[in-house]
Each structure stands twice: as C-alpha cells, then as structure tokens.
Structure 1
C-alpha cells in the first residue's frame, strides 16, 4: 500500500478499541469503508521527555563527544517514514492526519520482536534477523537513521516480515552505531542461544560501514545497566564480537 491509498482521517470510522500507546504516544484504530483498518498515532508532549532521554543516553553510553538524542517533530517523523517507505525499506506507508498525528495501515497480526524471537522456528528466526540487519544497513547507506530501535519498535508480521515503526527519537552523533547496537543487543537478549551465530553470519555478508568498537561499547554499557532484566550477557557479547572479527 502506498501513501496515496491511505484515506483521509475524515473518511475513517474510529473503532471501539485502541492499542495501548507508550508513555509518549497513543494509538487508535480506525476503519475505512472497504474494511481496511488504519492506526492513528499521536505523540504526546510531556515534561518527562528530557529525563527519559537522559536516562536512555546514560544506559547506552550515548553521551560523549556531543552525542545526544532529541525528539522528532510529527513532520520529521512523517518525512523520515515516507522517505524510508519510498526507498523500499521496511517501513509502512504513512500520512499526516491533519490533526497533529499520523495514519498507517494497522498490522493487527504483527507482534513485537521480544514476543516473536524466543518461540520462532529456527528458519523463521534466521530470516527475521537477516531482514532486520539487511534493512538497517540499507537504511544507513541511504542516510536514514531510524533511532530508538528497541524491541517494541520492531514488528514481525506474518505477511510482511520485519516492519520498523515509531521514530520519535533522533540520535545526534554516531546514530548508525547506536541503531546497530540496539538491534543486536535486543536480538541477543531475547534469543541468546540462537541469535549470535545468525547475526555473525548475516553481518559478515552484509556491507558494513560501522565503527564496531563503538557498537560494542554501547552494548557493553547497556548490558551492565540491564543485567538484572536480561541476565548476564557479557560472555555472549564478547564471544559474538570475537567471532565477528575473525575472517
């Protein structure tokens, strides 16, 4: 589906259901006359943004040499998503709704990465990680940095495969490395027995232009902060990067 095929908000009917948004956004489901469903997303402007970003930067070590994360405006979110979709990346079509929000197709069968990876059959998990890394590399090669690639912003749809959503946060600084660190870290955290080997294989055959030492630094910092939640991943991460460096 293209941007042009998403109906205007006035032509959609709100359904008596909505997906729970995060702390900083709300999602509402609408339906068109043809039965297709669409997701209306509206960002919230709240004072806690600054503290959340500060905490997130600290957890990833993304606070040196002028690195920072800022909040994208709704226009910036839409511009990035449109550019990514038109470039053939794994981002759904999107339009502004005229009331400070955006509209995209509603992927009611999609699940977030944390729910998908642990139980996915081996071949499906491998395909998902391949799509995830290949898309990220393609985006970065086009100058597109998604930002905030945590597991809730990465969907896996039965028909579409990997789908990237929610681009509220914009990294200023080594954003490519932060994107990659987040994708690798969460993939390992939710499937540490299978993901590392697949990721090494995918990364070795994917064109890379990254400072891998910086990627590891971000991951090591996050691991130390999140050990109570995801377990001790130090050996897994070290082994992963050692294998990645080998010819």
Structure 2
C-alpha cells in the first residue's frame, strides 16, 4: 500500500515519523504542508491542522505522531522481530511510551517547538497566522530548558544501552528527531554532556537518519555539527 506523509521538513514531530518509517524500510510519498495556512484540503484530512499526518491507501488518516507510531507498530512491528520499536513486554512498553511522550510533548513544548517556531516558521507566516518578529524571551527560555533535557538524556544513556532499555526504540527516535531540529539551528550545547552526544551520534549514524541530514531548509544553513557523524 502507498503511504503519504503530510509533513513540515523542520517539524520535529514529522521528523520522528520519517525516521520511524525509515526503520521500517518504508519510503513514503512526502507532501510538504504549511499547517498555519489551514489549507481546506488538509483540514478535511486533519481538522486540527497539525503535522504530521500519515495516509495509507484504503485506511483513515492517522494524525498524531504517537498514534502514527502505534499504527506502524500494529501494522508492521512484527516484521522487525527482536528489533521492534515498541517492545512486546508490558513493562518495557510502558517505559518506551513514557519517554516517547516526554520528547513528543514536554521537549517539544519547552525546547524544539518554540525554537523552530520563532527562528523558522514565523518567517513564512503572516501576522494573522501568528508571524512577526521572533519572541526573544521564548527563545531564551528554550535555550535554558534544553540543558536539563540534555542532562536527562545523558543520564539515561549512561545507565542503559539505549534511552528506554537494552534496545533502540521509539524513545530514541523521538529524542533524536527533536534534537535534530535544534541541532540544525546550532542550539544544542553538545559540550555539556558527552554521554548524550555519543548516544545521539549512534542514532544519527543510522540509515534512517540520512535523508534528514542532506536536506536544506528555508534558506537557513545547518550548523557545522548537523551532518557531521563524528562531531
């Protein structure tokens, strides 16, 4: 079946789904969407007007990154065997879901969402759509918040093989996807936690990540560390 992913290239939630699809070996049709334009055809698919949205032929649209992750696990998880991104064991599944939501919600609200909005998206939005000059206070708060998030990632990486346990899971993909947008903008203080940096390099080196590392966005050049696998 053909899959179409409505996404924004620098939307961290969209990036999470793109990396997950890459781990499943699925190459979707990518449809760039500017959700702030509230395009009528897009609202029919997702009235919330948020990205990402995954559409598979013959099935209803799936419109939240966590729901898309669950959908992919239900439809394709068994194909990964022991490398399943959502483990079979109940305790492990709970921990993966907890950490995945930490990054999809908390990290996005406190760090990646504000930085991408203020530094990138506002450039393409009218005043009515929420555009205008960047909110410097929001940027400062996000740059402060990333430090404790990075310390938490480092602690997880030091105490486990991967963030949620012995295997790579959705938790790693969610964290890496959100960090990748901040890294593109050059706002990750990598010198503050070597364990977090080493863990990120492992995820960043995976084939599923490569399509993201070669993309340029919105006339903004990526940071020097962004595409460097040995940064």
TM-score by length of 1: 0.38
Higher relative contact order (CA 8 A, sep 6+): 2
Higher Cα radius of gyration: 1
| Structure with greater proportional helix content | 2
TM-score by length of 2: 0.40
